[in-house]
Structures are given as structure tokens and as C-alpha cells.
Amino acid sequence: MACDVYVAGMGMTPFRKSNQSIEALMAEAGKMAVQRAEHRPVESIYMGAMNVEEFVGEGNFAAFLAEYLGLSGVPSSRVETACSTGAAVFESAFYAVASGYMNNVLVIAGEKMSHLPKIKTARILAEVIDREERRYGATMPALAGMIAHRYQKEFGLSDKRFRRVLARIVEKNSTNGVLNPYARAKRIITQDMYEKGRFIATPLRLFDCSPNSDGAAAVVLTSEKTPIRVSGVGHATDTMALMHRASLTSFSSTRGSALRAYAMAQLNPTDIQFAEVHDAFSIFEIIGMEDLGFFEHGQGWRGVEDGDTDRGGRLPINPSGGLLARGHPAGASGLAQIVEIALMMLGEVDEKRRIPRTDVGLAQSAGALANNNVVTILERSDRRRVMTTGWVPEYKPVIQVGTPENIPETVDDTGILETYTTLYATPEGFSPPHTLALVGLEDGTMTLARYPKYLEKSQFTIGQKVLIRKRGDSVIFQTRNLIQTVKDQVKTLFKGKNLTFAGEKKRKRN
């Protein structure tokens, strides 16, 4: 019933720190896309930027951009889903064309964020994080760090091996990125360089995190047949807070959006020949590949180790360099992935960048901490489908959606350290090192907890018992061992005195 939707043209600016305005960047990408689309008359504009109000102080940007493009009069809507904005704009435009009411729609997504002081950018970016997590000083790297620690533990990887896997992703993506004229990466990050990178949020280091950038991407969608068909789009949300999730090493928003996209395309993960996966952090590439059904849960890292995901491998992942090497202008990245896939499909990339098979490509974009994700599947229109009817879905993930529940009002109990991170790049009002953990409670829920500054640095082990306490509005955690250590130290210090410790027996005050 729905009309087929095709990609008629695409454009992109280089992603880097730019002196151009956001409108100039978006116009550059848009113009390129319209030119490649042979100047089909644009009937509607769908544009996206994550937070143009606070990054550049402008509202009403959809109308503004239409005028700036010289298309004043043409309908123009802004779509926003945090860091997956670029892919969500594409999705909304897709439905407009699929409805049959629109023949040619211009999709543009961009972001300008690197002109602001870092602390301000950090504050704006923090708005996409759950309020409670934000209050604890959690940042995107902090949450990604907790996920990484958990993944390492859950699948039994040694520190060294896990570090090597992450370094391998960084090396692969930077190797791909240096060949990509649109990417900001100018050098290959070797294992050595990776290891010399400072910690941002343990175990993640500098090169595990995609750099904030400026840039824009654009696509013209059309109802008229072109070499590239949009064969599937899917979209799903998840809880804002990590602590409300059923899994810390799988994103149900990726699984949900993939399920919908595969069903629409009538394709299975095994049909996908290459993919752009949202590697805002290196660990997300592994989790993304697993959630998309390319690898079993907990096996993605092996694919990296074995070279399966290299440019010449069985299933090239991020042959563009990904967000890690291309840079991550929040609202633009989701659409940039789609543009990269289209360019690769048309063979419009340098010979050195080519990959073996490019008939079916998938892009996966994540909004904030993977709570508003979008999956897009592009396919060569001339691709012969072996079986055009009777598609059997091979991808049936169990999509677990956490039930947000309030954390207990008062906590003065023990719990299990589910995961943790030590943040070395802290947001306003917090100072490094800032250790945060997710602590599992007896009732099956988790609470976020911070490790108090007044305690000495400690070693944490996922799965260990910890003591949690309510201090003002926050939950703090202490390791039993440390408490014992402190007690012992104090006892040594006051040798012979009769001491009572808090928690053993409460001292009376006032």
C-alpha cells in the first residue's frame, strides 16, 4: 500500500571544528544533495538539530533554514530525538514520501557545538541524561564507562584483553576514517597511542570517546525509482536511566528498532553486508553489533578480534570511520551514517575505501544513552531477492523494557555492585576522580550511588557486596573491605580505646 521510497541524492560537509554557521553547514550539505538529485523540486523539508536553541541561540529554525536555502514557502519541520536526530528526521521524511502525498523531500541534519566553551557544551549535552543520573554528576562517558566495566565482567574478559579489543576498534575506525575525506580523523590511533590516552571514565580512555564536532548531512528522498531504495526503518525508545534497565550490556532500543526495520525490509541480520553502528563510545560498537543480530550477545568482541568487522572482513562495521573517527555533531551523525552507506553503495568513494559487498547496508543511531534509537536499511534497487515472499524472520530478540520504579526512600543497607566507573572529566559542580556505581538492591531494582570523596581510593569488583547509605538527597556506597580497612586503621591509631563505629551502634546527637 505504501509507496516505495528511494534516495535521489545526498550531501555532507566535512565533520570537524568549523568556523561556518550551522545554517551555512546545513545549506552546503543540502545543496549538494539537491544537485545530485538533479534539482527535483523539493516539496517539503524535514530538518534536524539537537539543540539549536542553546548551542547557537536560535529558535524557529525550520522556517529559518527554508529561507536560508532560498526555499521560503516550502513546508519545513524540525524533528528531534537527541543524538539520533539525523536518523529520526530521515524516518519522518520517509513516512511523508511513503504516504504518497510527497514526491521529493529534502532531509537535512546538522549541529554546531564546538564554538562554545567546553563546560557549556557539557552542560547542554547533559540535558539528554536522566535527571537523577545528572544530579549525581553522571555524564555520557560515565554511563558508557559503567556499561563497559559491566560488559568486561559479564563476559569474562581480562583487563588486558578488553583494552586490546577497544583499542582494536579505535584503530580500525581511525584507519577507515583517515581515508574518508568527510571524517575529522587525520591519523591512525595505534594500540600504543590508545593506551597513552588519559582516562575519561574508567575503563574508557580519550580515544574511546567520539569527539564533539560541527557538520551537516543531507539526503533527498523521492518516490521515483533510483539505484537506492530505503527498504526498512525502525525506531524504539528505552528508559532514560540506566538503573531502570533490565540489561546493562544490551540496548533494547536497538533491538526494538532493528526488529521493526528488519520486518519492514523483510530482511534478516545475515542479509546485511555492511553497517554504520553508533560508536559514540567504542564499547557501543560491540553492543550495537550484538543487538543488531550480527553476533550473539557477548560475542561481538570476538568479531573485532578476528577482524570480521574490518574493511576487508566478513561484515565491515563503520567503514566510514564511524562517529569515533568522523566526529559526532549530535544532530547530524544519524543522517551522516545514511549518507555514508549511500555513497558506499554507489561506489562514490575512493578506491582504497571500497568494501567487498555493498548491496545491503544498515545504519544504527542512538539517542542519548540509547534511549531513542533508529535503524535504517538501504538496499540496491537492482538487488535480486532470492525469495521475495515467505520471508522468515530470523531475528526475534527478547526486548526487555525496564519498569521505572522509585528507589527506596531511605537506604541503609547492603547491595551488589552491578557496575561502576571513575569519571576523570567531570561536569560542573563535581571534581575528579568521581566514582559512580549502579548498586543492585534486594527488591530487584538498582540505585545509582556515588563513592564519597572522604574515603580513600579503592579497588572495586563487580559483584561485590557494598554498603549503601542515604546522605541528603543522594545514595552513597562504600565497599565492605574499605570500611573494615578504615576501622582497622582507626583501631590501630586509637589502640586500646573502646571504639564504637557508625552502623554498629548509633551515637546519640541532640
Which residues are designated catalytic? 83, 328
273 versus 372: smaller Cβ distance to its own copies = 372
List phi, psi (to 5°) of 409. Answer: -60, -50
User: Closest Cα to residue 42, out of 52, 31, 50?
Assistant: 31
- SS3 label, residue 115: coil
What is the Cα–Cα distance from 284 to 216, expressed in whole angstroms? Answer: 22
Whole-number Å distance between alpha carbons of 160 and 172 = 18
- Tallying the residues shown for the chain, one arrives at 510
Q: What's the closest the beta carbon of residue 477 comes to its own copies, in angstroms?
A: 25
Which residues are CB-neighbours of 286 under 8 A, at least 6 positions away? 151, 165, 169, 300, 301, 304
Closest CB 233 distance from its own copies, rounded Å = 8
Element (H, E) at 306: none
Closest approach, Cβ 214 to its own copies, in A, equals 18
User: Measured between alpha carbons, how far is 322 from 280 in angstroms, rounded to an integer?
Assistant: 8
- CB of 233 or CB of 482, closer to its own copies: 233
Type of residue at 321: G
Which of these, 510, 467, 470, lies nearest to 487 by C-alpha position? Answer: 467
- Which CB atom, from 83 or from 360, has the smaller least distance to its own copies? 83
Which CB sits closer to its own copies, 42 or 462?
Answer: 42
Cα separation, 70 vs 215, whole angstroms: 20
Residues near its own copies, by CB under 8 A: 1-3, 44, 50-51, 53-54, 57-60, 62-64, 66-67, 71-82, 88, 91-92, 95-96, 98-102, 124, 127-129, 131, 234-240, 252-253, 256-257, 260, 264, 367-368, 371-372, 399, 401-402, 404
Per the CB < 8 A criterion, the answer to whether 59 and 53 are in contact is: yes
- The Cα–Cα gap between 459 and 433 comes to 13
Cβ distance to its own copies smaller for residue 116 or 124: 124
Nearer to its own copies, 128 or 217 (CB): 128
In the chain, the amino acid numbered 297 is H
